Amino acid sequence: MTTSRRRRPNSSPAAALEDDDLLAEILLRLPPHPSSLPRASLACRRWRDLVRDAGFLRRFRAHHHSRGTPPIIGFFTEGDSGISFVPTLDPPNRVPPERFPLQITGRADNCRIVCCRDGLALLVNVHPGQALVWDPVTGDQRRLPLPLAFRNMNKIYNGMVLRSAAVGDSDHFGFQVVLVRCMKVPNGRAIACVYSSDIGAWGDIIQTSTPLLRTLSMVKSGALVGRSLYWSLYGKSTAILEFDLDTQNLAVIPLHLDGWVSPGKRRKDGWIMSTEGGGLGLVSVLGHGAELWKRETDSYGVATWLLTKTIHLDKLLPLSSGDRLTVDFAEEHNMLILGTIDGIGIFTVHIETMQCKKLPVNFQKLPGVFQPFSSVYTAEMVVGAEHAGAELLRNR
């Protein structure tokens, strides 16, 4: 009779870290801050070799992208010289602006940044008739010919890019692009078109009637709530354009909110958002106040908008009574981004936790075009950035 001896479990933490697979699993769970891996690389040569391995870096990014929203590491703006990156994190997590260079074909003022989401940026360059999907961290790019209905910069349109789920440790660069626009035909019409990197082509044009709603907001980015995308519509009334990613159906949701128009007949600014629990919501701002609204449907299928929270921004920010706010919204983080016309600096306010922070940027009010960018920045992954990690840690 043969008896097998069971290997005694190794209970020593120090000895357990000698297992490279276990060590990698531990290091994968470091916070997704730009300085996390450079700090870990200082422990010893073995740790440095592990965190600089291309396969580990892909796993680190995929792990954090799939388990929550990475930090906002900066934002992209448009200017006369083109599109530029502005870092917003404090040292040592501040990412140098030159880490995200963008080369485009044609004049810089013909290129527009439409959306940043899932660590990707969507840009359009109308004269070459192209859209560009760009991962600034890895440098991956994919150029797409624009559908004919979207090849005119004078036509107001918007869109969103969505990253496909990563496939293991592969170099998977999968995504969907959804473009939407309104057409000023009798009674109004909205159209949408979807590009899938899996098939490498645009789908058919999808459309719906939009009576009395002739304008799609270019200023406000869309929102992802559940499996649907949403954009703001304006005209003689206000509504939301909905695109269901699964059914590829386009629809209009009326927006009837009590108090949406102030007593002085001024309409509030509103941004679509996902509420706690995953429902469709809206954050509106007028003066120094912000309101959170939630869409609820009763047992009869009747939908109503309910006011769930009021935020007194003048109690969170250093505002004077006459200060006029400039506002943007980072939908992935449910975070207001605020400045004033006179320039008190740029602040973020998380609308659920009420945490407020002043951003370390060198201008005092929000630029006209402003796209917050969230990603897991791994310094060593940038081409030609052998010492990028050390550079981050010296950036204090």
Examine the domain organization and report whether 134 and 242 are in the same domain.
Answer: yes
Examine the domain organization and report whether 33 and 46 are in the same domain.
Answer: yes
Structural domain of 312: 266-370
Examine the domain organization and report whether 251 and 364 are in the same domain.
Answer: no
Examine the domain organization and report whether 236 and 284 are in the same domain.
Answer: no
**Count of structural domains within the chain:** 3
Examine the domain organization and report whether 353 and 394 are in the same domain.
Answer: no
Domain boundary among 223, 255, 287: 255
Decide if 157 is inside a domain: yes
Residue 18 has pLDDT above 90, yes or no: no
Examine the domain organization and report whether 328 and 313 are in the same domain.
Answer: yes
Write out pLDDT tens, residues 286-327: 889 999 999 988 888 888 888 999 999 999 998 888 888 888
Examine the domain organization and report whether 162 and 208 are in the same domain.
Answer: yes
pLDDT bin (cut points 50, 70, 90) of residue 168 is very low
Residue 127 has pLDDT above 80, yes or no: no
pTM, two decimals, is 0.84
pLDDT bin (cut points 50, 70, 90) of residue 7 is very low
Decide if 343 is inside a domain: yes
Write out pLDDT tens, residues 212-222: 666 666 557 78
Note the pLDDT of residue 213. Answer: 62
Note the pLDDT of residue 65. Answer: 82
Examine the domain organization and report whether 288 and 339 are in the same domain.
Answer: yes
Examine the domain organization and report whether 180 and 134 are in the same domain.
Answer: yes
Examine the domain organization and report whether 251 and 112 are in the same domain.
Answer: yes
Decide if 183 is inside a domain: yes
Q: What are phi and psi of 17, to 5 degrees?
A: -75, -5
Decide if 11 is inside a domain: no
- What's the rounded mean pLDDT across residues 190-197? 94
Note the pLDDT of residue 305. Answer: 87
Domain boundary among 222, 255, 288: 255
Decide if 261 is inside a domain: no
Residue 387 has pLDDT above 50, yes or no: no
Residue 67 has pLDDT above 80, yes or no: no
Decide if 5 is inside a domain: no
Higher-confidence position of 3 and 172: 172
Examine the domain organization and report whether 384 and 324 are in the same domain.
Answer: no
Examine the domain organization and report whether 245 and 389 are in the same domain.
Answer: no
